[in-house]
Structure 1
Amino acid sequence: MLKLPEDFIFGGATAAYQAEGATKEGNKGRVAWDTFLEEEGRFSPDPASDFYHQYPVDLELSEKFGVNGIRISIAWSRIFPEGYGTPNPEGIEFYHNLFKECHKRNVEPFITLHHFDTPEVLHKDGDFLNKQNIEHFVNYAEFCFKEFKNEVYYWITFNEIYPVSIGQYLTGTFPPGIRFDFGKVFQSMHNMMVAHAKALIVFKSLNNPGEIGIVHSLETRYPYTDSEEDKKAAHLDDVLANKFLLDATFKGYYSEDTMKCVNQILAANNGAVDIQDSDLELFAKACKDNDFLGINSYQSSFIRAYDGENDIHHNGTGEKGTSVFRLKGIGEKMFDMEIPRTDWDWLIYPEGLYDMMIRIKNDYPNYKKIYITENGMGYKDDFNDGVIDDQPRIDYIKSHMESVARAIEDGVNVKGYFLWSLMDVFSWSNGYNKRYGLFYINFDTQERYPKKSAYWFKELAETREIK
């Protein structure tokens, strides 16, 4: 039987835009998603989980069900409605009250500063392709570090830089909806890493109590076959999705192999990236001071060589078997292995999480500790008069927790696991049909109902034994 450490965090994860709702309350500024969703006309971010009003209920449930940590993001546009300028007192008060309630309920807040929601004014001005917006982000981060220093110990600069960048500039599923612009993908990722480094350096200069890190979406890429062509394709896709960001985070520079692959991808797609020596100097200064790495992991990918044009179909409806992901000059994601997958075509392969943690330990030995900051299963839960039997989610969580426990046994310093998500939330391009939470939400009434997985998670948190 596998057992988790005494000081292990059993957490639940949320994000401001996906949980708070109340997008027009409290003098909150608009974000690009507001306009993007209005123009698409498919989903609304209101009411989401109404966390803006319901957070006392959710934190009480957290305490009752053994959840002793919560990932929360601060909505940048609640603090600075236009991204900079005069801070908004109503937004500041909301987060003070929220963090106070966290501590009242013995739930440690892990606070993310950017979770896909750049203020619209800045987003229209190039988002992180515009270097001036790096400075606006760092100023916003510094304000939060100072304002909430007595309430927040754990800080996260960015959530999932790679998914943000490809959503915006590769798949077109995030605003501004641009497709197949690899130059913008790499430039956006690089510039956000510059913003991370600058914010981290500011945090350390303040000598605040606490720790700071970053959350990367890290999903292992495997070759579809043992052919050299498939191995090369998997390596190229890994550099795009994982190695480019990990090098910047922990090495403080991009390795020769990384840049060789980046330049190959850009050449195949007529793109370019601007990396300044001053940027690399910041990376070199910051790379030693990351207190932790957050890993978001949902699936792994099996990559086959591909020599055609870019071709992506995003399965946003849960119609299993409709996903297509082919990248020019890189490779093609395959889905025909004997591996179970969710309705959204995400492969259920917990071995990939184990392999990624071991990789961090071996390839980036200056890492200090890891939190699994997101892991979970999107599922079409059956309400059944308030009895929500989500056994497939339990099976998913259990198998991935076993990978965490095995990694700890093999010397990886993993200090916690945050289930995505604490409660059902609004799911970006997937709307409300895709549920992840321990607690089922009736989005019409905002009533909460513990699922079968919530009771299982409670026992796990109490015993730390994976049964």
Structure 2
Amino acid sequence: MADAFFNRSFLDPAVKGHFPEKLVEVLKKEGFMPSMEEGDLELIRENTIDLLGINYYQPRRVKAKEHMPHPQAPFMPNHYFDSFEMPGRKMNVYRGWEIYEKGIYDILKKVQTDYDNIECFISENGMGVEGEERFKDEEGMIHDDYRIDFISEHLKWVHQAIQEGSNVKGYHLWTFMDNWSWSNAYKKIVMDLSQLIFKKTGNERLRKADTGFNPFQRITVFNQNTCSFLEKSKYFFYVTVSG
């Protein structure tokens, strides 16, 4: 049910042109089936997408429900499952998120098998770090090897999916420079490659640790190549993967 609520509820109508039957049954049972106007389903059916963007940061793990919810509690999707924390999971301790690189491969394979291998791209992927200034050296450079590893390992799994026939066309990293996110209460959670230091006189850019790659270099990873060269680079801006 977690898949139906959090994935198929929008993937099925967007790609297949209809809602998943299991989800419709549950919503009717719980009294939460939205009202629809005549012709709505036809509009959805006739206007499916031809390119899918996929955002992936961390996995959502669930398990069977251990205790039934209170009968008077308002309905929520987690009435049908509990969250699950994988023992020994790798964590981004600076953000509190699990790191599971293979998840990006799992998603691409699911799109390949369940959604007719529709053309897609990774529209967001990246590693957020709160208080990243702690990793700044005496010269003002931030050494973010953890982010390099994060990106490299995810790209390796994207490459593996391509090798197995996935129709993924690109990878977009979130993000190139600092952004102030309202969803994080404007806390300084850094997910970028280039830091902006705000001063009264203007903006000063501070590069991340450098091993010689131009930060604006466009890196193309072809299907016949490996991603091992990425380990040598401390810069990633835009990556296009092609099969």
Which of the two has greater helix per residue?
1
1:296 is matched with 55
Quickly say closer, same or farther: Cα 1:463–1:281, change in 2 above 3 A.
closer
Change (3 A) 1:406 1:336: closer
What is the Cα deviation at residue 286 of structure 1? 0.7
The one-letter code matched in structure 1 to 2:196 is: I
Who is 2:143 aligned against? 389
Amino acid at match of 1:420: W
What code does the residue aligned with 2:167 have? N
**Matched position secondary structure for 1:353:** helix
Partner AA of 1:305 in structure 2? A
Partner of 2:47: 286
Separation in structure 2 between the aligned mates of residue 454 and residue 331 of structure 1, nearest angstrom: 46
Cα–Cα, structure 1 residues 366 and 416, in superposed 2: closer, same or farther, change >3 Å? closer
Match of 2:85 in 1: 335
Choose which of 18, 34, 40 in structure 2 pairs with 1:253: 18
* Residue aligning to 2:165: 411
Match of 2:233 in 1: none
Evaluate the alpha carbon distance shift between residue 453 and residue 291 of structure 1 in structure 2; reply closer, same or farther with a 3 A threshold. Answer: farther
**SS in structure 2 opposite 1:442?**
strand
Q: Which residue, 177, 189, 214 being the options, matches 1:434?
A: 189
Question: Where do 1:8-407 residues align within 5 Å?
Answer: 236-263=1-28, 267=30, 271-287=32-48, 290-306=49-65, 307=67, 309=69, 328-342=78-92, 343-365=94-116, 367=118, 369-380=119-130, 381-382=132-133, 383-384=136-137, 385-407=139-161
Distance 1:453 1:409 in 2: 30
Give the Å deviation of 1:463.
6.2
Q: Distance in 2 between matches of 1:416 and 1:335?
A: 30
Change (3 A) 1:276 1:363: farther
Structure 1 residues 402 and 282, CA gap change in structure 2 (3 angstroms): same
Helix, strand or coil at the partner of 2:191: coil
Deviation at 1:305, TM superposition (A): 2.7
For the Cα contact (< 8 Å) 1:393–1:453, is it kept in 2? no
Distance change >3 Å, CA 446–CA 333, structure 1 → 2: farther
- SS, match of residue 452 in structure 1: coil
Secondary structure of 2:98's counterpart equals coil
**Aligned partners of 1:308 and 1:328 also within 8 Å:** no
Cα gap change, 1:457 to 1:335, in 2 (>3 Å): farther
- Number of the residue aligned with 1:323: none
Corresponding letter in the other structure for 2:208: K
CA apart distance, 1:441: 1.5
Is 1:394–1:456's contact at 8 Å kept on the other side of the alignment?
Answer: no
Q: Structure 1 residues 396, 261: CA separation in 2 closer, same or farther (over 3 Å shift)?
A: farther
Unaligned segments of structure 2, at least 5 residues: 71-75, 229-243
Q: Which amino acid aligns with 1:436?
A: M
Q: Which moved more, 1:453-462 or 1:412-421?
A: 453-462
Contact 2:117–2:167 (CA under 8 A) maintained in structure 1 = no
> Shift of residue 399 of structure 1?
0.9
Report if aligned partners of 2:17, 2:47 keep a CA contact under 8 Å in 1: yes
Q: Cα distance 1:407–1:388, how it changes in 2: closer, same or farther (>3 A)?
A: same
Gaps of 5+ in 1: 1-235, 311-325
2:89 corresponds to which letter in structure 1?
I
- Pairwise CA distance, 1:272: 3.7
2:179 alignment partner, one of 419, 425, 436: 425
Q: Secondary structure at the match of 2:112?
A: helix
Distance 1:421 1:305, change over 3 A: same
Q: What amino acid is the match of 2:4?
A: V
Does the residue aligned with 1:406 lie in a helix, a strand or coil? helix
Change (3 A) 1:415 1:458: farther
Rounded to whole Å, the distance in 2 between the matches of 1:299 and 1:426 is 20
**8 A contact 1:390–1:453 mirrored in 2:** no
Counterparts of 1:272 and 1:457, CA distance in 2: 52
Deviation digits for residues 402-437 of structure 1 (CA, Å, limit 9, x no counterpart): 111111111111111110011111122322321000
CA pair 450-300 structure 1, distance change in 2 beyond 3 A: same
Do the aligned partners of residues 341 and 366 (structure 1) sit closer, same or farther apart at CA in structure 2, a change above 3 Å counting? Answer: closer
Per the normalisation by structure 1, the TM-score is: 0.41
* Preserved CA contact (<8 Å) 1:438 1:453: no
- In the aligned structure 1, how far is the partner of 2:77 from the partner of 2:126? 26
